Amino acid sequence: MKNKLILILLMFTSIFFLVSCDNEGKKNYQNPSLDIEGNIVINAKDVTETPTFINYDADGTTVQLIAVKASDETIRLAFNTCQSCNPSPKAYFIQEDEYLVCQACGTKFKMDEVGITHGGCNPAPVVEKKESDDKIIISKDYVLSYKDKFENWEGITK
């Protein structure tokens, strides 16, 4: 009886650790909310210090945006492609701790610089957007203008 109790306890402990580890490794990849014109609508309340990677289907090509809340509480937006390394298929960023890391060259980029720094090895800032207290809208046409930067892109989408 004692062996069965130990076995059951070990099974529950193993399941707990497997579920915890699985959830810990997941990143925030999602499809955007769209308005009736096909523009991206981001709810500012949903953006946190952990980057959200937003996948937009641009006529069969995935264009990915990064949305993150900076330490000054502002919402920062960028296209997830490196301005220097593009058109490399690896010209995208993944999160490692408090940095975004270019998968083409390994350059680390601070979250607080997302959407601000132009040029060099960093995500391309989203400069055309409409902001209100609770929503950010990025026009479909503006996102489509970046489609060619993502045609060879091999970034993570889920």
Domain ranges of the chain: 27-150
Closest C-alpha among 97, 96, 93, 158 to residue 121: 93
With bands split at pLDDT 50, 70 and 90, how would you rate the model's confidence at 1? low
Could you report the per-residue pLDDT of 48-70, keeping only the tens digit for each?
A: 999 999 999 999 999 999 999 99
The pLDDT confidence band at residue 74, using thresholds 50, 70 and 90, is very high
CATH 2.102.10 fits 27-150, yes or no: yes
What is the number of alpha carbons within 13 Å of residue 125 lying toward its C-beta?
A: 15
Q: pTM surpassing 0.85?
A: no
The pLDDT value given to residue 23: 38
Residue-wise pLDDT for 84-142, tens only, equals 999 999 999 999 998 999 999 999 989 999 999 888 888 999 999 999 879 999 999 99
- Secondary structure of 27-43 as H, E, C letters: CEEECCEECCCCCEEEE
Q: Characterize the bridge pairing of strands 130-131 and 33-34.
A: unpaired
> Cα–Cα distances in Å, from 145 out to 93, 94, 134, 153?
20, 23, 25, 15
* Average per-residue pLDDT for the chain: 85
